[in-house]
Structure 1
Amino acid sequence: MNKSRLHKITAVLFALLFWQIAAMILDRSFLLSSPIEVLKSLLELGLSGVFWTGMWKSVCKILLGFLSGAGVGIFLAGLSYRFKLFEVYISPYIMVIRSIPVASFVIIILIWLGGGGLSLFVCFFMVMPIFYANTLEGLKSVDVKMLQMAKIFEMSNNAKLIYIYLPALESFLLSASVASIGIAFKSGIAAEVIGRPKDTLGFFLFDAKMYLDTSKVFAITLTVIICSAIFERLAVLIIKRFFYMLKRVY
């Protein structure tokens, strides 16, 4: 085990110890539940089929919103890079979308579409501007000399995409994925708490809050954190694997 991992584990253990001591001193479980109480609630939730169904419902909608937001953001960035006038016209809309609070999005979507696809649409609007900005910045960072060389050697558009544009985009897409996965889960669950679509993680969170079941609130929050961390690592792994295979093939 390397020192970096050992330090991370030690930091987590110290945080848990501090949490346990604080909970014992406060001695008010409805204000601050101890790690042991949270673990018990987590195990109870794990034995509930309704919780698993709600968790996967929330996760699937959040991931669908993330993927659609990423796809549309990359596509719009490509259009903005290709057509400068398009960038001029779309930039105010992107700025407005980035500035609107999550709560406002939730209320607008509830009025227009109801609560069915609430977290999906909120995640889409949170993720899309991030991928748009990062992809456009990556495209603009391409070395002009490389493009001039490609023009001299009459490289095809596919060749320029594979050998020039995609390598330049790798780090930008990685940073966009890392930044937006966490935002997608936070905004998606927040949307569910406000809109309360039935049998979702946000619905369970609001229900636990109503009954002052703090240990359950912490347990559900821990579930969201774990899901976010897993899919963040998975997204990074997929992107790195894609570019690795691209380099191997070409």
Structure 2
Amino acid sequence: MRQILILFIMVSQGVAAQQFQKVAETPFVADTFVGIDSYKNLYFVKDAAINKTGEDGTFTFNDFQLGRITSVDIINPLKLVVFYEDTNTVVFLDNRLSEIERISFNNLPEFINISAATNAGNNKLWIFNIDTQQLELFNYRTNRKTTVSQPFSGKLLSVASNFNYCYALTDRKLRIFNIYGSLISEMDSNHFEKVVQQNEKLIALKENTLFFVTDPSEKGAESSQRPIKIPLSENSIKDLQLTQDFLYIYDGKTIHTFSLTQPKQ
């Protein structure tokens, strides 16, 4: 675990030394900007439907009976995870937005009431159990869940995850867990509203301002615990995504694309 912590700190310090350079502005109107996948396909929500557009065409999925779309996880473009909190349901979609399968957590042998669901890989989901206030790993092949965290105090605001880690933000703490269920570290929430991640790089949103978040696990290293403000001039941040060393910011009218670059010597 010590090696994991050292690696996380090195990655965070390396990110802090990097800069964002604007490379594109794209006029765009949607209810929600989801993101852009590794194949440069654009995903968004409009009129309660999920849309995907790219070189292979435009695709749409909707099921209005499921209610409002809470989140869309595109970390695996071949198997999207769509979560509907109103009906406690997850729908898996393929690369053409055709339904593969769905899970109703209301109809499981052991009912689970959840407020977040994202892809954890290997037939698993990161889920947050509202009734127990705990982060869990759910295997949707065996319908078994593994408790990852102790009960959270405070309201869950945002979850960012990949196949190795899950970052859970509440109004009190930001906690980092690994896929084995271990708490890697935690820090004060700093009043963040949302977090996004890519390859253990973490960016947080607060009052329309973005911050790099470094790992707080080394005691006494106060400088590494301070969030680092990102000097961007965008006036409004409605949605954002960090992926493939690009930061995408959606302001409600335009997608602003920034590349992550090393500063010139």
Give the TM-score normalised by the residue count of structure 1.
0.22
Q: Which of the two has greater strand per residue? A: 2
Q: Whose Rg is larger?
A: 1
Q: Which has the higher contact order (CA 8 A, sep 6+)?
A: 1
Q: Which of the two has greater helix per residue? A: 1
